[in-house]
Amino acid sequence: MAQNLVYDFTQKLVREWPVASGILSGAPVLSVSKEPGVTITARSDATKTDTLPDGSTITYAIGSAGQTAGSATVATDGSWFFPVIGASATTPKNTKVYQIEASGLLTLTVGTTPVNASFGVVDSNLGTALAAKTTVKIGA
């Protein structure tokens, strides 16, 4: 379950979307039609590997049971805590945030080729001292 939620999302707006391999919960994603969202669950086939005290490893499924193959449960509103390229303690509230489609990273830069997808706006500067992280209101 996503741990970076700051201000709640609307349950009735939650959907299941196809997402790229390796997507975990709490990740910014775009739908096929470029609608912004945040994964509440990891992709259905996601796994995690842990190292045991004896040095051996164990791999187990962390995707949500019942999801369509290759998909995740996605919230399309709410405010979430993310690293945002270019954000700082002085970034004004309501500054537009974009998603770099090729990498999935968030940025304050519109971009030119290709144009970055609109993702939301800066909701607050909580924690910007920590690696340029800020609270982003998605879909705004």
Domain final residue, candidates 75, 107, 123? 75
User: Global pTM?
Assistant: 0.84
Q: Phi, psi (5° rounding) for residue 107?
A: -150, 160
User: Quick one: tokens of 119?
Assistant: 């993702």
What pLDDT is stored for residue 71 in this prediction? 93
Same domain, 69 and 85: no
What pLDDT is stored for residue 75 in this prediction? 96
Same domain, 71 and 83: no
For residue 43, pLDDT over 80 is answered with: yes
Work out how many domains the chain is built from and give that number.
2
Conformation bin of residue 132: beta by default, left when phi > 0, alpha when psi is -120 to 50:
left
**Rounded to 5 degrees, what angle do the CA atoms 136, 92, 122 make?**
10
Answer whether 132's CB lies under 8 Å from 41's CB: no
